[in-house]
Amino acid sequence: MRHAFVVLAITLLGVLFAGIDANVIVRDVATPLGQSLLTLVPRDLGAPNVVTGILLAYRGFDTIGEVAVLFMVAAGVGLVLGESNQRRRKVDATLPPAQPATEIVENGARILLPMIAIFAAYIIMNGHLSAGGGFQGGAVIASGILLLLLALPKVGVDLAFLSATESIAGILFVLAGVAGLVFASGFFDSRILPLGTFGSLFSAGSIPILSLLLGIKVGCELGVIIVRFRG
Amino acid sequence: MFDLPISKLVLGTGFLLILIGLWGMLTHRNILRIIIGFSLIDTGIHAVIVSLGYVAGGTAPIIDRALPIQEASTRAVDPVASALVVTAIVIGLSVTAMMLAYAVRLYDSKKTLSIDALADSKW
């Protein structure tokens, strides 16, 4: 009986979605807002990647909100899991110790980890030039931390260090936003630094610096969440 | 039929993912499977938002040799949708992490992952 209702609801929703899919009109040009952003970001901010320009300059205030959500989740996961992890560790003392990773996994991780770190740095620093940015690079850093935890569990990850790093990066990120308010025309205005040559690594005002801080902050926060789940 | 734009394919895939996720959430009793269903809905919504920002024949909104600045406003996809999806991915990941943390906690106290074990907390 209950399953009949589920099937009915899914079918009705499917019919609705199929109707939307059949009737949606594919645009020939972007919306007026998108069009103006497509010309404004490269011309006024000097950033070839329009999406990063929007995220870090025009919607920098929103990005602070996102980072705040990530911070609250890192704190919330610690709050929810902290006590139960201590209890589980007491129970686990009676269990046989876990098997160590094999040599292949360990050596593979040792070779891959520096490459992951370099790739993350590349994504973060080229966020304003090509596809990428702080969030994406931070996620790559977190994937490296996850590999470290899985392959080399004896290597301790310092939670206090990760927390302190992300706090400092967050403070500097907000200060960079306030600097836009003081030295340029608004909160998170990236034109506090010279725009430089279009398309070079040190260009687009403060966007590379904001991208770097965001990458460090996101990487450390996701790392804290992953480490908390390990217990 | 054969000039099906890529965005309609992505839109249809996104809608299909939403339906699969909703079906999984409604029919399964295991909390982890419900969380997986939520993640599928989340990913489907991202695909839907991205496909709605598509412009026929458009390219990535990155100015380089392939996309001169003069042609940017006519040949690139809508950057607003892409920027919003970056936000949505982060929030979806945050919600999933919180749900998994609560699932771990519930398993510790009830020793089961079935939501039927939590019937006493219903009103």
Q: Using CB atoms and an 8 Å cut-off, which of residues 45-74 of chain B contact chain A?
A: 52-56, 58, 60-64, 69, 72-74
Please tell me the distance from the alpha carbon of residue A83 to that of residue A100, in angstroms, as a whole number.
26
CA A23 to chain centre: 35
Q: Using CB atoms and an 8 Å cut-off, which of residues 92-151 of chain A contact chain B?
A: 129-131, 133, 135
Segment A139-184, tens digit of pLDDT: 899 899 888 888 887 777 788 888 888 889 888 888 888 887 777 7
- The sign one gets for the Cα dihedral A122, A69, A161, A112 is negative
In single-letter form, the type of residue at position A59 comes to: R
Segment A28-82, tens digit of pLDDT: 777 888 888 887 777 777 778 888 888 888 887 888 888 888 888 888 888 888 7
Q: Using CB atoms and an 8 Å cut-off, which of residues 14-53 of chain A contact chain B?
A: 14, 17-18, 20-21, 24, 26-31, 33-39, 41-43, 48-51
- Listed in sequence order, the residues at least 6 apart from B42 whose beta carbon sits closer than 8 Å to its beta carbon are B21, B88, B92, B95, B96
| Between A118 and B59, residue with greater pLDDT | A118
Q: Which residues of A touch B87 (CB under 8 A)?
A: 62, 66
B72/A225 CB distance under 8 A: no
| Between B70 and A7, residue with greater pLDDT | A7
The reported pLDDT for the residue numbered B7 is: 80
| Between A106 and A185, residue with greater pLDDT | A106
Q: Tell whether the model's pLDDT for residue A84 goes beyond 70.
A: no
Q: What is the mean pLDDT of chain A?
A: 82
Mutation target among A3, A11, A50, A83 for the B interface, most CBs of B within 10 A: A50
The reported pLDDT for the residue numbered B35 is: 93
Q: Which residues of A touch B73 (CB under 8 A)?
A: 29-30, 35-36, 38-39
Contact B84, B49 (CB under 8 A): yes
Length reported for chain B: 123
The reported pLDDT for the residue numbered A91 is: 61
B102 in contact with A, Cβ within 8 Å:
yes
Contact A159, A150 (CB under 8 A): no
Please tell me the distance from the alpha carbon of residue A10 to that of residue A81, in angstroms, as a whole number.
35
Contact A33, A114 (CB under 8 A): no
Please tell me the distance from the alpha carbon of residue B59 to that of residue B61, in angstroms, as a whole number.
6
Q: What is the mean pLDDT of residues A193-200?
A: 72
> Given pLDDT bands bounded at 50, 70 and 90, which one contains residue A19?
confident
Closest A-chain CA to B93: A70
